[in-house]
Amino acid sequence: MFSKRTLVSETGEVKNHNQKYPYRLNFYNIPPIEEITTEEFEVFALDRLQVLKAIESASLRSKTELQVADHIRDISNQYLPLHSTEGAKNYPLEEERRKDHISHFILRLAYCRTEELRKWFIKQECALFRIRFIEENKEERQAFLNNERLYWNDLTQNEKESMKNELSQANPHIKFNDETFFIVNFEQVPDLVARRAVYIKAGKAYVPISEQVTLVVVEFRKRLSAALDLASRAFPSIDDERILPLLNNINQQYLGKAYVFNNDTIVDKVTADNVDQMVGHFPLCMMHMHRKLRELHHLKHYARMQYSLFLKGIGLTVEEALIFWRKSFSSITDEKFQKEYAYNIRHNYGMEGKRQDYLPLNCNSIIMHKQPGPGEQHGCPFKHFSEDNLKVFLTQTGVKKDEHLKAILDIVKGKHYQVACTKYFEITKCLEDSISRGDGERHLMETITHPNSYFKQSVTLSKINNSQNSK
């Protein structure tokens, strides 16, 4: 295992490390064996965490791939610089790669504990690896892959010619003649299959070399998830009072602002009867579902889940929830309601099945998961409404000025749904003017990330207004 090319400076030290870390990319197969201080331990871990969190928030903002890559490069240069072998003269490659290596393994330890943590960690690490792989130049990449012994079967020239039509139809953006195709099982490239970005025949996917990164990331993910499983089994044997608290502290950092569900909500008492009076404080998604519920006297499963958990979040108790839904489903007989829906509602409150106390869904999961199908009303209006419908809906719910309407729709076109929601909040609660006036108190501090926080802010705001008016 050695690098043939002598790209490195003359000093022996760098050369040494070039043998330890010959490439910028790393599959993290071998754990680091050296001593580090606890301070370094913590710093390394937190720095890498910053990068991973940046990746997460960038993907939540639904930026384009290019924007995300730019953003990450900035953040990564700040916290966790990692340069290609070309930059050997300007940067301490050895240091950078060591830090990358060690920090990965620290986080691996911190994030192996639960399924949820593992999932989050794998997702962000894969994204980071993907960005780095794309950035890397062709020779480095190939050398890295050779080193890792990653090969795939090529399509021969004859076969390629015989499938010319299909291959170029499936990949319209490539230059067919220069492209090499790999043959893999379709299970290996699920995201290409899902996007219909690859030609499939008889269970084999024909992946163009331009999508090679997908194959590499799949491999990366496979190894990482196996390694995490291993780590989680080994974790209980760690008994080190110096690093245990550190590790515990690190994995608390994930998903920074999870909505904390507390019972002392700001509204006095929510009952089945006064939900209607509060609709004004609801974010658009919930308002839409409430309207549809009143109109159709029925909601489909995921809509019920999303709305019912939201109501739970604002303080509707299970008894009241049962009354609320019973009254709302007015066209359904008592018997049918008890049979088909009551279970579902109790389940949401953790009283049936595996008795999990579900939290209200946050914006991220509403936007990303469970895309509504035909006839389904759930989801985020900014994402799941067609433009005309959204326009109509916005107008109905208080966006009066055309300029405001246009501003929101522009944000939506940029795919920043949560920003659009925040904007909508500011417009309908007449915060726009106060912001321009510099009225700090009435300024909405951050982007909406949770329907319940929207509700909370809305209620607080109206309370402030009331008190000011009464003065």
CB 275 within 8 A of CB 316: yes
Quote the CA–CA distance of 177 and 190 in Å, as a whole number.
Answer: 25
Shortest distance (Å) from residue 396 CB to another protein: 13
Quote the CA–CA distance of 310 and 140 in Å, as a whole number.
Answer: 50
End-to-end CA distance of the chain: 78
CB 227 within 8 A of CB 26: no
Nearest to 283 by CA among 412, 121, 458: 458
Smaller CB separation from another protein, 4 or 196:
196
Quote the CA–CA distance of 307 and 294 in Å, as a whole number.
Answer: 13
Nearest to 60 by CA among 419, 467, 471, 305: 419
Tokens representing 98 are: 């060591």
Residues in the chain: 471
Shortest distance (Å) from residue 301 CB to another protein: 8
Shortest distance (Å) from residue 449 CB to another protein: 22
CB 44 within 8 A of CB 99: yes
Smaller CB separation from another protein, 5 or 339:
339
Smaller CB separation from another protein, 57 or 344:
344
Shortest distance (Å) from residue 187 CB to another protein: 5
Shortest distance (Å) from residue 405 CB to another protein: 17
How crowded is residue 17: how many other Cβ atoms within 10 Å of its Cβ?
17
Smaller CB separation from another protein, 15 or 113:
113
Nearest to 361 by CA among 251, 265, 462, 454: 454
- In terms of Cβ atoms closer than 10 Å to its own Cβ (0-12, 13-18, 19+), residue 278 is middle
Quote the CA–CA distance of 201 and 374 in Å, as a whole number.
Answer: 29
Tell me whether residue 363 is annotated as binding: yes
Smaller CB separation from another protein, 166 or 240:
166
Quote the CA–CA distance of 369 and 383 in Å, as a whole number.
Answer: 12
CB 360 within 8 A of CB 312: yes
Tell me whether residue 430 is annotated as binding: no
CB 311 within 8 A of CB 290: no
Quote the CA–CA distance of 27 and 422 in Å, as a whole number.
Answer: 40
Residues that bind another protein (CB under 8 A): 165-166, 169-170, 172, 186-187, 190-191, 193-196, 199-204, 288, 339, 354, 370-379, 381, 384-386, 388-390, 393
Nearest to 51 by CA among 29, 79, 20: 79
Tokens representing 341 are: 């829906």
Smaller CB separation from another protein, 20 or 201:
201
Smaller CB separation from another protein, 296 or 318:
296
CB 225 within 8 A of CB 112: no
Smaller CB separation from another protein, 306 or 457:
306
Shortest distance (Å) from residue 359 CB to another protein: 20
Shortest distance (Å) from residue 295 CB to another protein: 11
Shortest distance (Å) from residue 451 CB to another protein: 17
Shortest distance (Å) from residue 342 CB to another protein: 12
Quote the CA–CA distance of 390 and 382 in Å, as a whole number.
Answer: 7
Smaller CB separation from another protein, 173 or 471:
173
Binding residues: 285, 363, 380, 421
Would you list which residues are annotated within the binding site for [4Fe-4S] cluster?
Answer: 285, 363, 380, 421
